[in-house]
Structure 1
Amino acid sequence: MKNKILLICTMILFSFTSCSNENEGMNNGLKIPMANAAADVTNTSFRAKWNYVSLSKTYLLDVSLSPDFATFVPNYNSKVVTDLNEVVTGLDGGTKYYYRVRAQNESQISVYSNVITVITTGSSVIPEDPTFLKVKANKLANPFFVGVAIKANQLTSGSAYDVVLKNEFSSISAEYEMKMDPISTASGVYNWSAADKIVKYGNDNGINVHGHALVWHNAVPAWLKNFKGTDAEFALEVKKYITDVVTRYAGKVKSWDVVNEAVADNGTMRSTVFLTRMGPDYVKDCFKWAREAANAAGDKDLLLFYNDYATSDNLPKQNQVYVIVDALKAASLIDGVGFQMHNTYLSPTKAQIETDINKAVAKGLKIHISELDMAMNPKGDITTFTNERNLLQKAKYKEIVKIYNALPKANKYALTVWGFKDNESWIPFNSVDLNRPWNDWPLLFDANFKIKSAHTGFLEGLD
Structure 2
Amino acid sequence: MKSKFLLMLISLVFFLNACSKDDNDAAEILETPVANAPKDVNDNGFKAKWNYVSHSKSYLLDVSTSEDFTTILPNYNSKEVTDLNEVVTGLTGGTQYYYRVRAKTEAQISDYSNVISVVTTGSNGIPEDPTFLKVKVNKLANPFFVGMAIKVSQLTNGTPYDVILRNEFSSISAEYEMKMDQISTASGVYNWTVADKIVAYGNTNNINVHGHALVWHNAVPQWLKDFSGTDAEFAAEVKKYITDVVTHYAGKVKSWDVVNEAVDDNGGAMRNTIFLQRMGPNYVKDCFQWARNAAIAAGDTSLLLFYNDYATSTNIVKQDKVFAILEDLKTAKVIDGVGFQMHNTYLSPTKAQIETDLNRAVAKGLKIHVSELDIQVNQFNDISSFTNERRLAQKAKYKEIVKIYNALPAANKYALTIWGMKDNESWIPYSTELNHPGNDWPLLYDSNFAVKSSHTGFLEGLD
> Taking structure 1 as the reference length, what is the TM-score of the superposition?
0.96
1:365 aligns with 2:366: yes
**Paired position in structure 2 for 1:156:** 156
Unpaired runs of at least 5, structure 2? none
**For 1:364-394, what per-residue CA distance to the aligned partner results, in whole angstroms no more than 9, with x for missing partners?**
1000000000111101001110111111110
For residue 259 of structure 1, give the secondary structure of its aligned residue in structure 2. strand
**Paired position in structure 2 for 1:324:** 325
CA distance in 1, matches of 2:71, 2:185: 64
1:38-117 equivalence runs, <5 A:
38-117=38-117
**For 1:30-86, what per-residue CA distance to the aligned partner results, in whole angstroms no more than 9, with x for missing partners?**
111111111110010100000001111111111111222223212111111111000
State the one-letter code of the partner of 2:334: L
**Paired position in structure 1 for 2:305:** 304
Cα deviation for residue 331 of structure 1 reads 0.6
1:138-157 equivalence runs, <5 A:
138-157=138-157
CA distance in 2, matches of 1:62, 1:313: 35
CA distance in 1, matches of 2:174, 2:71: 46
1:393 aligns with 2:360: no
**For 1:268-318, what per-residue CA distance to the aligned partner results, in whole angstroms no more than 9, with x for missing partners?**
100000000000000000000000000000000000000000000000110
Unpaired runs of at least 5, structure 1? none
> Taking structure 2 as the reference length, what is the TM-score of the superposition?
0.96
CA distance in 2, matches of 1:348, 1:362: 20
Cα deviation for residue 402 of structure 1 reads 0.4
Tell me the percent identity.
74
CA distance in 2, matches of 1:33, 1:335: 54
For residue 36 of structure 1, give the secondary structure of its aligned residue in structure 2. strand
1:51-450 equivalence runs, <5 A:
51-266=51-266, 267-430=268-431, 432-450=432-450
State the one-letter code of the partner of 2:171: S
Cα deviation for residue 437 of structure 1 reads 2.6
CA distance in 2, matches of 1:353, 1:99: 28
**Given that residues 209 and 255 in structure 1 are in contact (C-alpha distance below 8 angstroms), is that contact kept between their aligned partners in structure 2?**
yes
State the one-letter code of the partner of 1:224: L
For residue 219 of structure 2, give the secondary structure of its aligned residue in structure 1. coil
For residue 181 of structure 1, give the secondary structure of its aligned residue in structure 2. helix
CA distance in 2, matches of 1:10, 1:433: 82
Aligned residues: 461
State the one-letter code of the partner of 2:280: G
**For 1:187-219, what per-residue CA distance to the aligned partner results, in whole angstroms no more than 9, with x for missing partners?**
001110110000011011100000000000000
CA distance in 1, matches of 2:223, 2:329: 29
CA distance in 1, matches of 2:335, 2:156: 34
Cα deviation for residue 256 of structure 1 reads 0.2
CA distance in 2, matches of 1:77, 1:243: 66
State the one-letter code of the partner of 2:151: K
CA distance in 1, matches of 2:15, 2:237: 95
State the one-letter code of the partner of 1:65: T
**Given that residues 29 and 109 in structure 1 are in contact (C-alpha distance below 8 angstroms), is that contact kept between their aligned partners in structure 2?**
no
The farther-off stretch of 55-64 and 357-366 is 55-64
CA distance in 1, matches of 2:163, 2:283: 41
**Paired position in structure 2 for 1:31:** 31
RMSD between aligned residues? 1.8
For residue 129 of structure 2, give the secondary structure of its aligned residue in structure 1. coil
**For 1:298-347, what per-residue CA distance to the aligned partner results, in whole angstroms no more than 9, with x for missing partners?**
00000000000000000011000001000000010110000000001110
